[in-house]
Amino acid sequence: MRTNPSLTILLLFMITCSSCSKISEDIKRDLIVTDSVDFEIPVLGSITDTTKTTTGIDIPLNLDKLNPDNTNNFSRENISKIRISSFRMVLLESDTSVLKTTNFSNIQFIKAELVAGGRGQNFANVTNTSTSLVRSYNLPVSIPEDTAKKYLINPDVTYTFRYKARKTTTIPMKSRAYATYTITLEK
């Protein structure tokens, strides 16, 4: 049985072109980005008060500067997923005499939201059961990647934190929030 050489060359050409296009389409890169922002928890004057809120905390995440070396020419449009990998709150107070009466054990719960376009989405929260001094919390993150992306690609996104007093405080709590994001860029 004889094969037509033109047919064989055509078949090899099609396989080669098909393979090359698949390689160029499958460029994918995960970036791990960590940022932090300072904020203040207001005085918790009464345990019967409603939830206290700190709003409008700018998120320093800059999606336009994610790829400084600009390899593979990735841009904001190439973001396929954003996952909030971790979220942590830390008290900045170092005076131990102040920390004895004003720390995260004064708070019954903390809820963190992303806010953009007038809408908010809870993404992490923790309920406090400790009565001893608490200087930091790792808040379990509970937001799907596609929802996180919808909020975080908005340049006007902010954090809102909600708290409920468990014990009263007499001074605000200066705090810092640390977030780690896994951002998937794809072409």
**Class of the 27-186 domain?**
mainly beta
pLDDT tens series, the chain, 187 aa: 565 666 666 666 666 666 554 554 568 888 899 999 999 999 988 888 778 889 999 988 877 766 655 556 777 788 899 999 999 999 998 888 888 889 999 999 999 999 998 899 999 999 988 888 899 999 999 999 999 999 998 889 999 999 999 999 989 999 999 999 999 988 8
Report pTM: 0.79
Euclidean distance between CA atoms 39 and 20, whole angstroms = 50
CA angle 91, 151, 109 (to 5 degrees): 35
Domain boundaries along the sequence of the chain? 27-186
Residue type, 130: S
